[in-house]
């Protein structure tokens, strides 16, 4: 198949996109301001999206029709997604068992309107096409091949910096190798020759705003919304405990789960267990806020970013979470835009 034009999109509102046009060998590239992306006159591009917008999960689904697999995948990963499924778009890979990609429907709507006249052939998360063991700079973000994309202020790692043409070649290599999960599925699938009228007011800068919203949805909850979710998590945890054991849930399911670790191997702590412990512990500390959180299913931990009232407040958070049955491991606290910010890891604690 002939190589197609690549359109590598920025994550930031004031970022620039890279337009990569295939040549006999390699790519010719140019940069264009995000506000002007919707006015590009190109056909059938491959869209490379900021990885912060997309989460991709492995699954262990049995073979079935794609519609059935999609339903099963959504239920299987429900605990890993801190958002209502109704506002999300799901896509499956062609591999078996498939991978599941999740992205905000609002972002997909913006893509559909912005690029309707271009009729994009496919859309991929940047990290899903790249390979290698070194993080690299992609326009305005750090991309860890095969893992994730991060805002630049989230990493101190030295990044590999390719020229734009070299970067386009890296993505093209991923496409040629069959890597990547195409997000244009279902109602967003490519429709050759079919054009949707584009609203003149639509500008690609709106996608950057959605990117910030999506990052917030994926990574955390904040202020009173956090307390509401905590109550929902506690109710759900109690219901699941009753269904699984036939007994009423203890007052502190997180501590009960931690105690069970002493009796032998158990599965990694779930999102609900950890979130219940987190918000139970922090509920009495109204001056410490959860800014972002990310669940790691392999290690059974929550990766957090907390907003503190002072440099020494991290110790209070550790003690409060410990009383709720968790182990909060805090890192250094830094001042950022007038706030005190620190990263932390939460796992279920052990009791003596």
Per-residue model confidence as pLDDT tens digits over 143-194: 999 988 988 877 778 899 999 999 999 999 999 999 999 999 988 987 653 3
Residue 137's pLDDT is 95
Residue 352's pLDDT is 43
| Whole-number Å distance between alpha carbons of 290 and 156 | 22
Is 7 a residue whose pLDDT tops 70?
A: yes
- Which of 293, 204, 302 is closest to 254 using CA atoms? 302
Of 12-21, 72-81, 227-236, the least confident:
227-236
CA 350 to chain centre: 30
Q: Where in the chain is the domain with CATH 3.30.1360.100?
A: 220-348
What 3-state DSSP class applies to 201? coil
Q: Where in the chain is the domain with CATH 3.30.420.380?
A: 6-218
Of 95-99, 163-167, 205-209, 225-229, the range with the highest mean pLDDT is: 163-167
Show the DSSP H helices in the chain as ranges: 66-76, 105-114, 126-129, 164-176, 205-219, 223-245, 253-260, 271-282, 313-323
How would residue 81 be classed by pLDDT, with cut points 50, 70 and 90? low
What does DSSP say about strands 46-49 and 122-125: parallel, antiparallel, or unpaired?
parallel
- Which of 47, 193, 42 is closest to 124 using CA atoms? 47
Is 88 a residue whose pLDDT tops 90?
A: no
What does DSSP say about strands 289-296 and 148-151: parallel, antiparallel, or unpaired?
unpaired
Of 59-73, 126-140, 155-169, the least confident:
59-73
Of 26-40, 128-142, 246-260, 277-291, the least confident:
246-260
Residue 124, C-beta contacts closer than 8 angstroms, at least 6 positions apart: 46, 47, 48, 49, 174, 175, 180, 181, 182, 183
Rounded to an integer, the average pLDDT of 296-310 is: 84
Residue 251's pLDDT is 52
Tokens of 265: 């191997």
Tokens of 322: 């410990």
**Whether CATH 3.30.420.380 fits 6-218:** yes
Query: How much of the chain, in percent, has pLDDT values that exceed 70?
Result: 70
- Which of 97, 83, 48, 84 is closest to 207 using CA atoms? 48
Is 202 a residue whose pLDDT tops 70?
A: no
| Whole-number Å distance between alpha carbons of 59 and 164 | 34
Rounded to an integer, the average pLDDT of 295-310 is: 83
How would residue 120 be classed by pLDDT, with cut points 50, 70 and 90? very high
Residue 15's pLDDT is 86
| Whole-number Å distance between alpha carbons of 15 and 204 | 11
Of 1-5, 51-55, 150-154, 339-343, the least confident:
1-5
| Whole-number Å distance between alpha carbons of 308 and 312 | 8
Residue 28's pLDDT is 95
Of 15-19, 107-111, 268-272, the least confident:
268-272
Q: Which residue is associated with the tokens 């326009």?
A: 139
How far is CA 27 from each of CA 10, 88, 140, 163, 350, rounded to the nearest angstrom? 19, 34, 20, 11, 55
Helix/strand/coil percentages in the chain, nearest 5: 40, 25, 35
| Whole-number Å distance between alpha carbons of 122 and 101 | 14
Residue 260's pLDDT is 47
The whole-chain average pLDDT of the chain stands at: 77
- Compare 242 and 118 and report the one with higher pLDDT: 118
Rounded to an integer, the average pLDDT of 191-208 is: 45
What 3-state DSSP class applies to 154? helix
Does this model's pTM top 0.85? My answer is: no
Is 58 a residue whose pLDDT tops 50?
A: yes
| Whole-number Å distance between alpha carbons of 345 and 25 | 46
Among left, alpha and beta (phi > 0; psi -120 to 50; other), residue 279 is: alpha
How would residue 2 be classed by pLDDT, with cut points 50, 70 and 90? low
To the nearest 10°, report the CA torsion of 174, 175, 176, 179: 60
- Do residues 143 and 48 touch, judged by C-beta distance below 8 A? no
Residue 76's pLDDT is 61
Residue 230's pLDDT is 47
How far is CA 212 from each of CA 101, 209, 306, rounded to the nearest angstrom? 18, 5, 18
Of 52-56, 261-265, 270-274, the least confident:
261-265
Of 128-137, 264-273, 333-342, the least confident:
264-273
**Whether CATH 3.30.210.10 fits 220-348:** no
- Do residues 291 and 306 touch, judged by C-beta distance below 8 A? yes
Residue 136 pairs in a beta bridge with: 143, 160
Residue 238, C-beta contacts closer than 8 angstroms, at least 6 positions apart: 248, 249, 253
């Amino acid at each position: 198949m002939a190589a197609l034009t690549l359109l590598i999109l920025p994550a930031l509102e004031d970022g620039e996109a890279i337009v990569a046009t295939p040549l006999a060998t390699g790519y010719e590239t140019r940069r264009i301001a995000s506000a002007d992306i919707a006015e590009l006159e190109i056909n059938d591009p491959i869209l490379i999206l900021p990885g912060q917008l997309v989460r991709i999960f492995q699954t262990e689904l049995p073979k079935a029709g794609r519609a059935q697999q999609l339903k099963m995948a959504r239920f299987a990963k429900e605990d890993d997604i801190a958002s209502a499924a109704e506002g999300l778009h799901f896509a499956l890979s062609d591999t078996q068992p498939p991978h599941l990609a999740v992205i905000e429907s609002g972002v997909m709507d913006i893509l559909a309107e912005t690029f309707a006249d271009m009729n994009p052939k496919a859309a991929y998360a940047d990290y899903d096409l790249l390979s290698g063991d070194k993080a690299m700079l992609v326009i305005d973000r750090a991309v860890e091949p095969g893992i994730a994309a991060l805002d630049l202020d989230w990493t101190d790692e030295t990044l590999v910096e390719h020229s734009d043409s070299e970067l386009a070649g890296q993505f093209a290599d991923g496409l040629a190798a069959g890597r990547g999960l195409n997000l244009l599925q279902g109602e967003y699938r490519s429709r050759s020759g079919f054009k949707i009228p584009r609203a003149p007011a639509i500008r690609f800068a709106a996608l950057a705003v959605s990117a910030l919203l999506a990052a917030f949805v994926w990574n955390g909850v904040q202020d009173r919304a956090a307390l509401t979710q905590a109550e929902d998590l506690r109710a759900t945890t109690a219901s699941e405990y009753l269904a699984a054991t036939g007994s009423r849930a203890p007052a502190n399911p997180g501590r009960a789960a931690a105690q069970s670790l002493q009796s032998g191997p158990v599965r990694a702590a779930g999102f609900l267990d950890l979130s219940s412990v987190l918000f139970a512990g922090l509920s009495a500390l109204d001056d410490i806020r959860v800014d972002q959180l990310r669940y790691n299913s392999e290690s059974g931990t929550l990766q957090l970013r907390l907003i503190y009232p002072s440099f020494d407040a991290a110790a209070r958070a550790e003690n409060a979470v410990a009383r709720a049955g968790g182990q909060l491991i805090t890192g250094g606290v830094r001042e950022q835009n007038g706030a005190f910010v620190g990263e932390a890891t939460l796992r279920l604690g052990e009791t003596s």
